[in-house]
Amino acid sequence: MHRLDIATYFTRPEGSGDRPDRLTDDDLRSLYGYPVGLDRPWVRVNFVSSLDGAVTVDGASAGLGTPADKRVFGLLRELADAIVVGAGTARGENYGGARTSDARAARRRSAGLAAVPPIVVVSASGRLDPASRLFTDTTVPPVILTSERADPAHLARLRDAGGDVEVAATDDVSAAALLAVLQRRGLRRVLCEGGPGLFGTLIAEDAVDELCLTAAPLLVAGPAGRIAGSARTDPVPMTRAHVLGDDDGTLLTRWVRAGAE
Ligand SMILES: NC(=O)c1ccc[n+]([C@@H]2O[C@H](COP(=O)([O-])OP(=O)(O)OC[C@H]3O[C@@H](n4cnc5c(N)ncnc54)[C@H](OP(=O)(O)O)[C@@H]3O)[C@@H](O)[C@H]2O)c1
């Protein structure tokens, strides 16, 4: 066992002089900064799970979110060129476009990012509702990466609803195909918000550069799945970049693929 000497407290209660300072948003931007000068998409995956590995409570991730997790969730969006999700997550969590503020948009522009990151939905079936928030509650068009399996008439409806639809595969979209599209579009600071199916594809193709994983201080049990699933088992060694703790027990961890940086 080793002392976790890179652990950093997220907040510091009054009078606890033995702890490091409370982290500011700028501290967090620095802790979660993407590598500079990227010449390829860097895939960051962000998840929250319970201590017993549940990825949902009553079918949604909201029951796992803590104040620290929500703060980092928003900050990771601020740092990203694109937010990538599987269609199961977009449908199940009723995804809309990323929200922003004038200050956040200004910070993004000064960092060389577009004011608002698009949501990129990966869906082999293309079965997304053109009346859903994905299309109706956004300031930038959602990108729909789909396959030849999708019904062309339905894809036309998604385009009519404002979707930027791209057929990127004959069936499932491989990680390589996803990364090729992101690279062509100049979207290199990638934030994948899941879900477990898409994360499984990315792991299986060794396409995950880092995982930001929040452990929420909860035991959940129940039928919930875990954060990744795929047909094969593909161990990928990861190195610990940082561990942050909040006073409510939340642990925020960042793991980088060995040799990725
Ligand atoms: N705790 C968390 O941090 C967190 C994060 C995200 C999601 N979740 C939870 O996870 C659950 C969703 O799980 P899920 O496994 O269904 O998630 P998912 O990976 O978001 O969705 C699976 C669906 O996404 C599409 N998809 C994924 N990978 C694909 C690929 N390589 N090529 C083409 N299409 C692909 C397919 O959609 P089509 O069927 O349209 O082809 C597939 O059926 C929800 O309950 C959500 O709340 C939790």
Q: What is the pLDDT of residues 138-161, one digit of tens each?
A: 999 999 999 999 999 999 999 999
Q: Is residue 58 part of a domain?
A: yes
Q: Is residue 101 part of a domain?
A: yes
Q: Is residue 191 part of a domain?
A: yes
Q: What is the pLDDT of residues 66-94, one digit of tens each?
A: 999 999 999 999 999 999 999 999 999 99
Higher pLDDT, 14 or 202: 202
Q: Is residue 62 part of a domain?
A: yes
Instruction: Classify residue 58 as exposed, middle or buried by CB count within 10 Å of its CB (0-12, 13-18, 19+).
Output: exposed
The boundaries of the domain holding residue 55 are: 7-257
Closest residue by Cα to atom 44, ligand 1, is 89
CATH number of the domain enclosing 136 = 3.40.430.10
Q: Is residue 2 part of a domain?
A: no
Report CA(254)–ligand 1 centroid distance (Å): 22
Binding-site residues, ligand 1, Cβ < 6 A: 47-49, 55-56, 59-61, 64, 85-89, 92-93, 122-125, 127, 172-173, 193-198, 201
Q: What is the pLDDT of residues 7-61, one digit of tens each?
A: 555 665 555 555 556 788 998 999 999 999 999 999 999 999 999 999 999 999 9
Q: How many domains does the chain have?
A: 1
Q: Which two tokens stand for residue 253?
A: 């961890």
Q: What is the pLDDT of residues 131-140, one digit of tens each?
A: 999 999 999 9
Question: Is residue 234 pLDDT above 70, yes or no?
Answer: yes
Question: Is residue 95 pLDDT above 60, yes or no?
Answer: yes
Residue 247 is predicted with a pLDDT of 85
Residue 232 is predicted with a pLDDT of 87
Average pLDDT value over all residues in the chain? 92
Residue 15 is predicted with a pLDDT of 59
Q: Is residue 85 part of a domain?
A: yes
Probe target for ligand 1 pocket from 198, 218, 250, with the most ligand atoms within 8 Å of CB: 198
Q: Is residue 49 within 8 Å of residue 55, measured between CB atoms? A: yes
∠ CA 170-174-180, nearest 5°, is 100
